[in-house]
Amino acid sequence: MSEEAVKRVTIREILKMKREQRRIVVVTAYDVLFARLVDAAGVDIVLVGDSLGNVVAGFESTLPVTVDQMIYHGSAVRRGVSRALLVVDMPFMSYQASEETAILNCGRVLQQTGADAVKVEGGSDEMARTVRRLTTIGIPIVAHLGFTPQSVRTLGMRVQGRDPDNAAKMVDEALALEDAGAFALVLELIPSDPAQRITEAVSIPTIGIGAGPACDGQVLVLPDLLGLNEGFAPKFLKKYADLAGQVKDAVARYGDEVRSG
């Protein structure tokens, strides 16, 4: 294996990809086995998403996920990732209450998982101040605008930024988060036009999910990408396999052989 093949992806490299207009590939992972596979497949960033609340734990939203659960899964993924940049989501109420709470929890997640960065949601002035405090003390931050799953109770799961004023506000929020030190920005469920405006306005990479083709990269939840999450089929999702069918077929064939002796 060449030296280039095993070179670790760094934050500096992710920023360079934006400047060189190289698209950034991001997928989620929640355990060591899938972490090894996606890392070997050459993705640029592995995200341990709090979406594990939905796809691993079976919750209706990400809200019940705890810091301890993120550390457990983040540590497992760290043991499987040797090349990609590893980012861990900060769960609901682990960083919103105060800047001090954010510092303690984000620092703990970095320290106990070995992740390269953490991700936080929201673009308010208060959140920008929190991001600034975190980055000032050396905690790398990925920010998240548009539909923010931890705000599902107030926003609902729907596209954000269709209103011109709201779209303009998101551009301002993106610039504020960049100024606060975030090195990348996830844009979720945003129309293509405002997503493109944000991407062109900031010098940090934008990672889209349901935000059109103009973003600097794309992220998908791995079980959705692999067709493991039956019944979940939003418009933006392209399934690259039907592993749910293959798993059921394999287990059924195993059961037939056991029963037949």
- Residues involved in catalysis: 188
Closest CA to 50 of 119, 143, 146, 153: 119
Residue 206 amino acid letter: T
Closest CA to 222 of 64, 17, 13, 25: 25
| 128, 96 Cβ separation under 8 angstroms | no
Beta-carbon contacts of 229 under 8 Å, excluding residues fewer than 6 positions away, are 55, 221, 223, 244
Q: 57 to each of 48, 53, 105, 125, how far by Cα in Å?
A: 14, 5, 22, 33
Q: 201 to each of 45, 68, 173, 196, 215, how far by Cα in Å?
A: 22, 36, 11, 8, 11
CA 51 – CA 56 distance, rounded (Å): 8
